[in-house]
A and B are shown apart, each in its own frame.
Chain A
Amino acid sequence: MSSETKKILTTDGIPLEVSLKKAEKKNKIKAFLLVAPLLFFLIITYVFPIGDMLFRSIDDKMVTQMLPKTFKAMENWDGQELPDEEVFAAFHEDFIKLVEDKREGKLSTQLNYTKNGFKSIIKKLRRASKKFEEGNYKEQIMAVHKRWADVEYWRAIQRRAPEFTGQKYLKGMDMYVNEEGKIVSVEEDRRIHRVLWLRTLEIAFFVTVFCFLMAYPIAHLLATLPMKYSNLLMICVLLPFWTSLLVRTASWMILLQQQGIVNDFFVGIGLVADDNRPEMMYNKTGSYVAMTQILLPFMVLPLYSVMKTISPSLMRAGKSLGGTPFVAFWKVYFPLTIPGIGAGCLLVFILAIGYYITPALVGGASGTLISNQIAFHMKSTLDWSFASAMGLMLLSGVLVIYWLYNKIVGIDNIKLG
């Protein structure tokens, strides 16, 4: 029995299947048109700029464009011995053009990033090049300084030929490409970025743990108390949640300062001597305490919304079957709250890993995170490509967690308040 013999027709004589598909398609387009304005707005103002960050982070056209003829001539050079006259002549031609445009300083800065020692020899070359005679540039350039006769320096120039580079990403992990073209780490005492990455993970991890330990009991209390009490206590969670981040950070700055209330209290109960007040701000402690308090509501709310759905009769059933309250809690109640724990922990961890304002204000030098380094390069050193590279490294970490979150909780299930 073939299905074709049983085609149902609508009153217009069109097969029902076709007609339904048409209606379905129309509905799809309608729904999409509603989403389209926001989607395109975000793609243009937000998604593309993040792509632009990727482009900036690997873009290395500057030197490529400054020495076009040199790199063309270098294509046939194997890099073993000094390049021949053709390369020197091309380099001379490019260099004269740069001097005319007054851009040889930029070249020296850029080349100096690759290998130290370019600054002075480029200055010398500029002065000497005015008296150069036509022809035999190899001899003339090599006579300017002995480094120009060193093949290492020509290899360093050649390394800047590609238009794109991953060196900013290597720098973000405290690595670089050495003279032999191998990827190596910088010396132990200069590995600032690795320290920052590890510290960011450490602080985010412990803040998540602290938040979980504090949020679990109060979420449980809120979920089990009668409505009229729990509503009142809920305000204690929601008021900080709605209050400005800067206000909350300011209150911690007042509390934690050396002459502040927390220290007064410690002195008052005789825990520390008055002349030996501990420094609780401008270090890691400051970051930990302030971030835990600020992120706590983001842990309480998902936990609460899960606990609210757990029927109290389950615990009673567990107890009536012979479990002690602890066993009943551990075997019955706790497993049921795991979705809430997952949601809360991931949310807090994602927020903590990208925190900027609070660590910058109360973290001092030892409590700052990777975001602070990104902001520093954006605003102070103006090394935007490096800031972009580190931002994208952070982003890729967050996206992995986001993906996990989506797998475990589903983004459609995010609830606010």
Chain B
Amino acid sequence: MALPKYTEPHYRIWHYIYLTICAAVFFFLIAPLFVIFPLSFNAEEFLSFSDGMKSLDPDAFSLRWYKDMIYGTKNPWGLAAKNSFIIAIFATIGSVILGTVAALGLSSRHMPYKGLIMAVLISPMIVPLIISGVAIFFFMAKAGLAATHTGIVLAHIILGTPFVVITVTATLSGFDHSVTRAAASLGSDPVNTFMKITLPLILPGVISGGLFAFVTSFDEVVVVLFLAGLENTTIPIQMWTGLREQLSPTILAVATCLIILSTLILVTAELLRRRSERLRGINR
């Protein structure tokens, strides 16, 4: 954003103030994440930079907290990671199937009571998590599903579907329905048309909705706090317990891994978004 040469001095000053403010806000947004990286390699047990770290002494850095995370006898991270992945994967599959099918119905122009139904389908995203947690806990307790993987997976499907519904309906809004009619006129049955024509075109939306559902489940702690027993502990639950009791460097090692994971998800989501925009560009 270079300024034109004729800009008056006080606007020039104002422009630089504006850029400084922007830089400060970006710093505020991103810097906290980068505190975690170096501290997770701390050789000592403290959560602040030691003098050795400040002078970049190699002895001040170590992998001991990563070793502790993986091999530590008292650390429940292994079980937690396993549970988290199992729950998130099944919750994602459930959310994607239910959400995509519902989105197909919702974007049909024949859908009756569209506004009302959309409001119900989106509600788990809007209602505060603590209330969802209480309500879902009452249901799961009655259904005998409290403290089971099934219960948590169902709860996360509830929380994850709104994201799939939103992303897929957004993708379908630019969808050219004449291609499905063309397929039908050529003798394809609806299921075949969906698999061969519709799905490939809306796939970016489906996957990015799935990513949202995955992250929602993988990061969810409020509802799981109500539902989980000792057997169903997840990474967020362990982090929550750890942060409440004792902030140990092992948590920072886990946090670093989670940041790497979220970076991967971010990159995937961005690539998908661009691909989807390209595809819809062709349709126009």
Contact = CB atoms under 8 A, between A and B. Distances in A.
B131 to A, nearest CB: 4
Interface in A248-280: 248-255, 257, 259-261, 264
Interface string B155-174: 00110010101110110000
Interface stretch (B24-32, B65-73, B177-185, B195-203): B24-32
Given A242-B269, A402-B126, 17 more contacts: A30-B105, A31-B108, A34-B108, A35-B101, A46-B136, A47-B120, A53-B135, A217-B22, A237-B29, A245-B221, A254-B36, A254-B47, A356-B128, A371-B130, A374-B134, A391-B130, A411-B119
A255 B48 CA distance: 9
Interface of A: 24, 27-28, 30-39, 41-50, 52-53, 56, 214-215, 217-218, 221, 224-225, 233, 235-240, 242-255, 257, 259-261, 264, 293, 296-297, 325, 350, 353-357, 360-361, 371, 374-375, 378-379, 384, 387-388, 391-392, 394-395, 398, 402, 406, 411-412, 414-417
17 contacts: A35-B105, A35-B106, A42-B158, A46-B136, A48-B139, A53-B134, A53-B135, A221-B22, A224-B1, A242-B215, A251-B33, A252-B32, A355-B128, A356-B222, A391-B134, A398-B127, A411-B115
A412 B134 CA distance: 27
Interface in B108-138: 108, 110-112, 115, 117-124, 126-138
Given A46-B132, A253-B243, A296-B29, A244 B219 contact: yes
B219 A41 contact: no
A42 B39 CA distance: 43
A32 B129 contact: no
A218 B221 CA distance: 30
B233 interface: no
The 6 closest A-B pairs by CB, nearest first: A354-B128, A34-B105, A35-B105, A27-B110, A49-B135, A31-B108
Contact of A218 (B25, B119, B120): B25
Contact of A46 (B49, B123, B222): B123
B155 to A, nearest CB: 8
Contacts of B226: 378-379
B252 interface: yes
Nearest to B97: A37
A235 B132 CA distance: 31
B148 interface: no
Per DSSP, chain B at the interface is helix
B15 to A, nearest CB: 9
B270 A45 contact: no
Given A39-B102, A52-B135, A244-B219, A217 B240 contact: no
B93 interface: no
Given A38-B101, A247-B36, A261-B35, A356 B129 contact: yes
B81 interface: no
Contact of B28 (A39, A245, A264, A293): A293
B128 A254 contact: no
B216 to A, nearest CB: 11
B48 A56 contact: no
B188 interface: no
A387 B212 CA distance: 30
Nearest to B209: A416
Nearest to B157: A41
B63 interface: no
B104 A247 contact: no
A31 B102 CA distance: 9
B266 interface: yes
B135 A244 contact: no
Contacts of B247: 250, 253-254
B260 to A, nearest CB: 10
B208 to A, nearest CB: 7
A394 B121 contact: no
Contacts of B98: 37-38, 41
B32 A293 contact: yes
A399 to B, nearest CB: 8
B21 interface: yes
B138 A242 contact: no
A209 B119 CA distance: 27
Nearest to A214: B25
A278 B126 CA distance: 36
Contacts of A30: 105, 108, 110
B139 A45 contact: yes
A35 B138 contact: no
B161 A38 contact: yes
Contacts of A353: 128
Given A34-B101, A42-B161, A217-B25, A28 B112 contact: yes
Contacts of B11: 325
B121 to A, nearest CB: 6
Interface string B1-30: 100000000010000001101100110111
Given A35-B106, A245-B219, A417-B273, A46 B135 contact: yes
